[in-house]
Amino acid sequence: MTTPLVDVQGLVKHFPGERGLFGLGAPRRVVRAVDGVSFAIAPGQTLGLVGESGCGKSTVGRSILRLIEPDAGRVTLDGTDVLATGARALRALRRRMQIVFQDPYGSLNPRMSVRQTLAEPVVLHRLAAGADVPKRIASLLGEVGLDPAFADAYPHQLSGGQRQRVGIARALSVEPQFLVLDEPVSALDVSVQAQVLNLLAELQRKRRLTYLFIAHDLAVVKHIADHVAVMYLGRIVEQAPVSGLYAGPRHPYTRSLLSAIPVPDPTAQRLRIALTGDVPSPAAPPPGCPFHPRCPHPKKNDRCRTERPSLREVTPGQLAACHFAEDPM
Amino acid sequence: MTEPLLRVRDLKTYFVTEHGRGTARAVDGVSFDLYPGETLGLVGESGCGKTVTSLSILRLIPEPPGHIRPGSFIEFEGRNLLTLASRELRAIRGNQIAMIFQEPMTSLNPVFTVGDQIAEAAIVHQGLSRREARARAIEMLQLVGIPDPAEGVDRYPHQLSGGMCQRVMIAMALVCHPKLLIADEPTTALDVTIQAQILELLARLQAELGMAVMLITHDLGIVAGTADRVVVMYAGEVVEQAPTTDLFARPLHPYTEGLLASVPRIDAPAAGGSGGSGGPRGRLHSISGQVPAATAWPAGCRFHPRCPYAWGRCATEPPPLLDAGGGAPGTHTVRCWLVTEPGRRTARP
C-alpha cells in the first residue's frame, strides 16, 4: 500500500455526562462517542464510514479536523501531526482539509451571498486578491456545475441541490487535499442525489482528492467508496475493500445492515435478518461484545457476553471484530 | 370486481403563496382508487404533492392559505368526504381513516403519557371508560411490540427512542381498527435496521386487521417491498400508475424510468476498480435539471424540460393518462405521449 494521506490511530472522544438542570444532581455517565478508531486513507481514495445514528461517525470526522478536540489518538495528514499542531499552524493546515456538511439549509450563512461565502476563505487564506477573486469564484461555480450568475444569489433563493453545490465549492475554494463529506447527499431527493454523487466523483478524479465519506446509506457508499468501515457504538466493527465487504460481510452487524436495505426490485428474493431492539446508549455500552444483545448469530455464546472481540484481519485486507468472523452467518 | 374503499377524482389543492403573488397548484387533478386491504404506494420527490394529497383526504389542509377546489371529489365508502359536515368528518377521521406521520418525535404530545394519547381516540370514538381505554392502550402497546407494555403506558415520549415513538404512533392510529391507514414517510427519520422492524410490523398488522394502507414515500426500495400497486407523482399530477411488479419491470414514464435508474443499488454487482458501471465512481444516471416551482408548472407535459425524449408536441399539449396495456383497461396508465409513438423511445438513458 502507498503511504496513506490520512492516518488515524486510536482516536478517542468521550463527552462528559451532563449534570441535571442548573448543574445540580449527580453527573451522568460519560458518553464514549468514539472509543479507539483507527484507519488510513491512501491519496485519491475514498473511505466510506457507515453506521446508524449515534454510532460516532460524525464525531470521527469532526475530530480529525479538530472541529471537536479529541481526547486521545493520533491523526496525520500527509505526514503532518494534526493533533499536535498549534492554533496558528492549524489554521494553515485547515486549508488542506475541509468539510461538507449534511444540511445544505443550515450550513450556509443566510445573510451572505454565494459570492461572499466563496470569497471569504479565498481572501483569508490569501489565495487570490483584487480582480482575481471574482474570476476564481466564477471558475469554482463552473466546477460544481453552477452558472456564474448564481454568485449574486442568497441561500434562500437556491434549491437543496444547488446549496449543496455551493457547500462543495466553499470547501474546494482553498484547494484542499482531503475532504470530510458528512452525509453530503442524505438530505437530497434521489434524482438530485445522483447529480451530486456524480459531481463528487468527477471532482475527485480531476483534483486527486481524498475523501472520508460519512453516511448511513450503504448503497450510496457502495457506489462511491473504495474501502468501507462500519461503526457500532463508537468502534469500527468491520473494515474492508468495497468488493469484500458487500460480497462477504464477516460481522453479523454488517450482515444485518445489508439485509435491511430495501431493494427497488419487487421480485428480489432476499433473506432479511431482523435485528431486535434499539442501539444501546453509548453512555452504557453492554459488556463483552457491544453488539451481543442484538446479535442474530446462531453461535452467540457466553464468550460474546463477557469478552470484547478485537478488530482483527480475517481475510487479507478484511478486518472484523467478531469471535465468529471465520464462520459468518 | 370489488368496489374501491377510497376513490379520489380530479383532486385539486391550491395554496395562495405569500403576499398573494401567486397560486401554488400543489395537487392539480389527481385521481386514483384504493381497494380494501391493499397497500398503495404513493411515490415522488419533495414538492410533487404526495403529502398534500394525503392531507386533503383527511381535510387537514390549513385554510387559508390552502383550499381544495370545487369539482374535486374524495369518496370513502360511498360518501364524499369533501362535503361532509365537520361533525360527520370527525367520526371518520382517526376512527375509520387514521394517519401516521414522518416525525414520530414531534408528532406526539410531549406533556401526555403515551397511554393517555393512545386512549384518547378510544374514549372519543368508541365511548370507552378511562379504565377500559387504558387496558386497550396496554393491549395496543403489546401489539406493536413495546417491551413491558404495562410500564410503557405511563412513559412520556421523551423517554422513548425514535423507533419506539413510531410504534406508539402506530398504536394510536390503529386503536380504533381503521379501514384505511395513511402512512406518510413512516420510516424516513429512522435508521435502516429500525426501519425494517417498523415495515415488518406494519405488514403484520395489516394482515391481522385487514386494513388498507396508503404508503407515501420517496424510497422506491420500500415501495418494491411493500406495495401492491404504485402511483407515481410529479409536479402535482399522477404520471404513472401500475401494479408494483409491472411498474418496476416496465417503467414507462421517462420520469419513473429516470428515478429508478438514479438509485444507487445495494444489489448491483461490485465492480473492481473504476472501470465497471456499478462499482466505485461509475456514473449514476441522473435526471437533468430540477423540479419546477408549483406556481409555474411548465406548459405541455410538465416533465418535458427534463425529458430526454421530448419532442414538439410535449411542449404544447399536456398528455392525459393513457392506457399502457398489460392487463384490463386502467391497470397500467401513463401520462406520456410516448405511449402513442413508442418508436420515439430511443436509446434508454
Q: Give the pLDDT confidence of A123-181 residue by residue, as tens digits.
A: 988 888 888 999 999 999 999 999 888 999 999 888 888 999 999 999 999 999 999 99
C-alpha cell, B265: 443499488
Q: Which of residues 261-300 of B touch A (CB under 8 A)?
A: 262-268, 270, 272, 278-287, 290-291
Task: Identify the band that residue A186 occupies on the pLDDT scale cut at 50, 70 and 90.
Answer: confident
d(CA A71, CA A293): 28
Q: What are the tens digits of pLDDT across the range A262-281?
A: 888 888 877 778 787 778 88
pLDDT along chain B (349 residues), means of 10: 90 85 90 95 91 93 89 93 91 90 84 92 89 91 85 88 86 90 88 85 89 93 93 96 95 94 80 40 80 89 94 95 88 95 74
* CA-based nearest residue in chain B for residue A199: B283
pLDDT at B55: 93
Q: What are the tens digits of pLDDT across the range A18-74?
A: 665 566 666 667 888 999 999 999 999 999 999 988 889 999 999 999 999 999 999
pLDDT at A166: 94
Q: Which of residues 24-83 of B touch A (CB under 8 A)?
A: 45-46
pLDDT at B137: 93
- Mean pLDDT across A214-240: 94
d(CA B341, CA B150): 63
Taking the CA atoms of chain B, what radius of gyration do you get in angstroms?
22
> DSSP letter at A183?
S
Alpha carbon of B344: minimum distance to chain A alpha carbons (Å): 23
pLDDT at A159: 85
Q: Are B181 and B98 in contact (CB under 8 A)?
A: yes
Judging contacts by C-beta atoms under 8 Å, the chain A residues touching residue B162 are 53
Q: Which of residues 196-215 of B touch A (CB under 8 A)?
A: 196-197, 199-200
d(CA A51, CA B43): 26
Q: Residue A197 and residue B267: Cβ atoms within 8 Å? A: no
Q: Residue A258 and residue B245: Cβ atoms within 8 Å? A: no
pLDDT at B269: 64
Alpha carbon of B242: minimum distance to chain A alpha carbons (Å): 13
Instruction: Give A39's strand partners.
Output: A8
Say which residue, B189 or A254, is predicted with more confidence. Answer: A254
Judging contacts by C-beta atoms under 8 Å, the chain B residues touching residue A231 are none
pLDDT at A1: 56
pLDDT at A288: 93
d(CA B132, CA B138): 10
CB atoms within 10 A of CB B169: 27
* CA-based nearest residue in chain A for residue B230: A266
- Best residue in A263, A273, A291 to probe B by mutation, most B CBs within 10 Å? A263
Complex ipTM value: 0.82
d(CA B334, CA B301): 12
C-alpha cell, A196: 451530486
Q: What are the tens digits of pLDDT across the range A293-314?
A: 999 999 999 999 999 999 999 9
Alpha carbon of B87: minimum distance to chain A alpha carbons (Å): 39
Which residue intervals of B210-243 are DSSP H helices?
220-226
Judging contacts by C-beta atoms under 8 Å, the chain A residues touching residue B272 are 243
Q: Are B229 and B241 in contact (CB under 8 A)?
A: yes
The number of angstroms, rounded, from the C-alpha of A160 to the middle of its chain's C-alpha atoms is 20
* CA-based nearest residue in chain B for residue A247: B270
* CA-based nearest residue in chain B for residue A242: B270
Q: Residue B270 and residue A226: Cβ atoms within 8 Å? A: no
Alpha carbon of A168: minimum distance to chain B alpha carbons (Å): 18
Alpha carbon of B64: minimum distance to chain A alpha carbons (Å): 24
Judging contacts by C-beta atoms under 8 Å, the chain A residues touching residue B258 are 191
Residues 6+ apart with CB under 8 A from A197: A185, A220, A223, A224, B264, B284
